[in-house]
Amino acid sequence: MDTHRVFGRLLLTGAAGGLGRVLRKRLAPLAHVLRVTDKLEMDPAGPGEEVVVCDLADKDGVHRLVEGVEAVVHFGGVSVESKFEPILQSNILGVFNLYEAVRKHGVKRVVFASSNHVTGYYRQDERIDVEAPVRPDGLYGVSKCFGENLSRFYFDRHGIESVCLRIGSSFPTVKDRRMLATFLSYDDLVELVRCALVAPDVGHSVIFGASDNAVKWWDNAKAAHIGFRPRDTAEVQRARVEATSPPLDPSDPASVYQGGAFVRTGPFDD
Ligand code: NAI
Ligand code: 15L
């Protein structure tokens, strides 16, 4: 792929969400037409946009959604720990529907919003790379492992390329001490998605999504082919965070494991 390319039509899922609203604005220059979708209502279509309300669990709807697109930026889904049923509908069935539609319509590449919670049970004093075995910290993390594995299968079987972004914490500001390690600024997020869309020959790739933070849990050396160079750092927000966010008890699992408070969630079937 040409690293300056403009796509004919790009599909963005999860467009009503926190990151989807950021990407809707910032991905526009990458496509002649940006088709945005969510199960929730979104702002009306602007120039060069198509807006489609669709539940990812609706197979026929997802097949119509994907028709005519060149690449997909898949950010829709349950984004936090939850009961199994909504995760099943959005993150398991929804991702399957998406990949089947992608296969059927000949889409060449998917950028998949995975999560740091696929490896949330590594300790905060460990540093891992993109080949470390997954250690999900809950059902949400397990569902993102499913997405990563499904995308691997669709590459091996059908040659559909995917880049799985194991996003840390992408919010306007650093909200707590854990985020000094996991923070991904919005500018760095947009650059990460751009790189994942345009880098040549990504095959099936996994990359952690964090800014150039001083505290590093993740090593992206084996994902260098994506060409992502973060420019921001959480460190400039450290003084404010330390003044306003007291340290956790060191024996609290949320301060032991990379997944933070996600490792305290559950039970899941009550
Ligand atoms: P969000 O919860 O604000 O947005 C997710 C969007 O997906 C929502 O608008 C929701 O309506 C939509 N959605 C959920 N189920 C759907 C379904 N069945 N059909 C259609 N749309 C559906 O989450 P956020 O923060 O914007 O995250 C976006 C993606 O990035 C998610 O996949 C999340 O797991 C992932 N991610 C985000 C991180 C962050 O720090 N914000 C960190 C790691 C991963
Ligand atoms: C995620 O996967 C979530 O989508 C996001 O809301 C944050 O909780 C983030 O991880 C995090 O670990 O901070």
Cβ contacts of 177 within 8 Å, gap of 6 or more: 241, 242, 245, 247, 248
pLDDT of residue 266: 82
Cα–Cα distance measured from residue 55 to residue 211, given in angstroms and rounded to the nearest whole number:
31
148 lines ligand 1 (CB under 6 A): no
179 lines ligand 1 (CB under 6 A): no
Q: Backbone phi, then psi, for 67, in 5-degree steps?
A: -60, 130
165 lines ligand 1 (CB under 6 A): no
pLDDT of residue 1: 47
Which atom number of ligand 2 is nearest to the Cα of residue 179?
13
150, 122, 153: which is closest to 262 by C-alpha? 122
SS3 string, 120-163, reads: CCCECCCCEECCCCCCCCCHHHHHHHHHHHHHHHHHHHHCCEEE
Cα–Cα distance measured from residue 8 to residue 106, given in angstroms and rounded to the nearest whole number:
14
pTM over 0.85: yes
Among candidate residues 99, 121, 122, 140, the one labeled active-site is 140
Catalytic annotation present for 122: no
List the structure tokens of 63: 């097949």
pLDDT of residue 268: 75
Which atom number of ligand 1 is nearest to the Cα of residue 114?
44
Q: Which of 54, 65, 79 to mutate to test the pocket of ligand 1 (most atoms within 8 A of CB)?
A: 79
Q: Which of 169, 218, 255 to mutate to test the pocket of ligand 2 (most atoms within 8 A of CB)?
A: 169
- Any idea what the Cα angle at residue 270 is, between residues 76 and 137, rounded to 5°? 50
Residue type, 122: Y
List the structure tokens of 152: 């691997």
Residue ID of nearest Cα to ligand 2 atom 11 = 169
pLDDT of residue 3: 62
List the structure tokens of 107: 């889409």
Q: Give the Å distance between the CA of 8 and the centre of ligand 2.
A: 31
Q: Give the Å distance between the CA of 227 and the centre of ligand 2.
A: 24
Q: Give the Å distance between the CA of 80 and the centre of ligand 1.
A: 8
Which atom number of ligand 1 is nearest to the Cα of residue 15?
9
Partnered with residue 166 across adjacent β-strands are: 114, 208
DSSP 176-243: SSTHHHHB--HHHHHHHHHHHHHSS---EEEEEE--S-SS--EE-GGGGGG-------GGGGHHHHHH
Cα–Cα distance measured from residue 163 to residue 266, given in angstroms and rounded to the nearest whole number:
30
Q: Which residues of the chain have pLDDT under 70?
A: 1-3, 269-270
Q: Give the Å distance between the CA of 225 and the centre of ligand 1.
A: 26
Buried-exposed string 156-173: b where 16+ CB fall within 10 A, e elsewhere:
eeeebbbbbbbbbbbbee
Residue ID of nearest Cα to ligand 1 atom 8 = 17
